[in-house]
Structure 1
Amino acid sequence: MTNQKQAMLFGLGTVLLWSTVATAFKLALRDLAPVQLLLIACASSVLVLGVILLVQGRWHLVFKLRKRQYLQSFGMGLINPCLYYLVLFAAFDRLPAQEAQPLNYTWALVLTYLSVPFLGHKLRRVDIVAGLICYAGVVVIATRGAVTSLSFSNPLGVGLALGSTVIWASYWILATRDQRDPVVGLFLNFLFALPVIALICALTEGIQFRPMASVGAAVYVGAFEMGIAFVLWSYAMKKAENTSKVSNLIFISPFLSLVFIYFILGEEILPSTYIGLVMIMGGLWLQQRKVSAQKQRLVHES
């Protein structure tokens, strides 16, 4: 099997896992508060990532970082998972999955915009057009099709969902300067964030978790969305001979996610959700297609 085929398989596995997490979020949040979900998910992710490092024979790398990098792990952990997932889970707690999930996908666009002041990237005309298309789709979804009234179904939930995209994009901008091994870095981020999350949970909602179905969903979120999916996607990017083909797989995820939302959660998918999601994905595709074309041109010129 060629490296590209392996990359596509790893990518498809990641997309499948990403497609299920919105449903898992809502199942866990039926009986758990967002911070309780985060505590269980973070602990599960630490365990899974630790096992992965052991199996890969890279556990020793956890102890070979500089003091500054351990401090960095604590700081990054406060952003992800602590702040990011608290905000994201709070959004899912207030919005139907079919609304929260597409809004979260606009983080890629936010990353482009934040890269202008913080990384010195140039804002292109296509980025502006893509933004107008994407956020028009956001309005369609958030108003459930009542665009002219601008009456949002849950303003706080929409604000939290969009706010989570800013936090996530900011995290990845900071990660561009991260010299740690990606899996080791993620493991340490979650490990150092875990006591903070546990303290917040103990002081607010408590740490008694009785409904096993919700706990199981929370464990699934931590093991697969926060842990295994990240590792699979890393493998996909390393194996890929054509990264754009693998990256394009992410456009399958939100539509496949609606299938799980409909059949498992029983949410009736509104026409406005389909329209808004197509607009968001169309804007992101337009932006990514332009970037891919520029990369290919640079390769040919070199």
Structure 2
Amino acid sequence: MKKSLKLVSAMLLMSALSGCFAEDYDVGVPRAYLLADDSLRGQPVPLAEANIDWSSSSGDVSETVVDIEEFGLSQEAITVAPNQPASLDFKENEENGGDIWTDPTITAALWKGGEKTELELNDMREFRFPRTEGNYVLEVRFIDREDEAQYIGNVVIEEPVGQRAGQLPGFTHMDMPSITKIDSAEPNGETFDHSYSEVCWNDCDADGNYTVPDVHSGDAEAGSGIVIDWGTMEPNPSEVILIEIDDNGDKISEETIAADNSAITIKVNEQELGRQYSVQYLWRDGEDLLGHSSLDFKLE
């Protein structure tokens, strides 16, 4: 009798587990969302389903859209700025149960007049819109094993009105400078610990508002090189200043970088370990300061 009860219990447990697995892994067509505000934390905008070929325990879904550009331009417009950061999010339809996919392949592209421009997504599904203004159709593809879903959005890229009056693009809309450490172990360079922040932006009274921040030390060794590159920033800064700071937070030196340079390399020696550096970027319109940002890092 006890053996029979154990057998029945085991069968019930396996049945329950198989139900859980089916709910988690055999899921329906996900919903796709675009997040395209300055902080990537605004309200997500749903993207329209287009071509769908999807099978699950909740049923098969097959949808066909012949002309995705025509279909996309009929959707409500989503206005973004040139080079604006954005991200993609996917959620399972509530009636389908689970929300886990194996390892989906996700791609994104923009269409305009029959020409396709691929968008580069990072591991967090974040990307930047291009700098060229215009009306585009956003295409997102989600492929999970044998299932595939296509999503469409109507995107208008245009400069904010405030910028047309002579202001800089929004701080988060501009490319950030890069900082890499190059040594024998990483000859191609690896990202070095740093912080990058705005000091003032489109509302600057005067210079001199910068205060030295506390930053996490990056691992550096004597003989390695720290490369700071701001070549992708548009518009280019009017002035770049390198400041060296000692262990007590006091300024050791200040150097204005030549205007035709878009990168500098700091060669690390024993004396510089423990020191902090700050690269100041300033944008000016004549005597007026339009923007001021700071890249800070410390050698340890």
- TM range, normalised to the smaller chain? under 0.3
Give the structure with the larger strand fraction.
2
Which structure ranks higher in relative contact order (CA pairs < 8 Å, sequence separation ≥ 6)? 1
Q: TM-score, normalised by structure 2?
A: 0.22
The structure number with the bigger radius of gyration is: 2
More helix, by proportion: 1
